[in-house]
Amino acid sequence: SQQGEEDPQALSIQEGENATMNCSYKTSINNLQWYRQNSGRGLVHLILIRSNEREKHSGRLRVTLDTSKKSSSLLITASRAADTASYFCATDTSADGLTFGKGTHLIIQP
């Protein structure tokens, strides 16, 4: 079963601009995680936000969580060409474990 759903499915921006991706989910969670996957490569963990947290930062990444709306957002500031990748949100629930959405494909134009 897949609970999270990312929006948009694809995003193309200019280098230096900020990129925002959203994730909506359906049931109560323990935490929500964001991952990056470069083409043909493995999944890399970016950031985890627990259900009792509202915002977390890591370098150029900012994640928010709104449990009342069952949604999260990932903001990448000052984007670089190397940020081109697919980004996935994953929700951790006691019943279903860790399930992923279909991802947002981000392209950074030089």
Partner 1 sequence: DTGVSQDPRHKITKRGQNVTFRCDPISEHNRLYWYRQTLGQGPEFLTYFQNEAQLEKSRLLSDRFSAERPKGSFSTLEIQRTEQGDSAMYLCASSRWNTEAFFGQGTRLTVV
Which residues of the chain form contacts with partner 1 (CB under 8 A)?
Answer: 1-2, 30-31, 33, 42-43, 45, 48, 50, 88, 90, 92, 95-103
Contact 22, 73 (CB under 8 A): yes
* Cβ 88 to partner 1 shortest distance, Å: 5
**CB-nearer residue toward partner 1: 62 or 100:** 100
Q: State the Cα–Cα distance between residues 86 and 102, nearest whole angstrom.
A: 9
CA angle centred on 4, ends 82 and 34, rounded to 5°? 35
* Cβ 98 to partner 1 shortest distance, Å: 6
* Cβ 16 to partner 1 shortest distance, Å: 27
In DSSP terms, 58 is beta-bridged to 61
* Cβ 4 to partner 1 shortest distance, Å: 9
**CB-nearer residue toward partner 1: 31 or 64:** 31
Q: What would the 3-class secondary structure string for 27-48 be?
A: CCCCEEEEEEECCCCCEEEEEE
**CB-nearer residue toward partner 1: 46 or 76:** 46
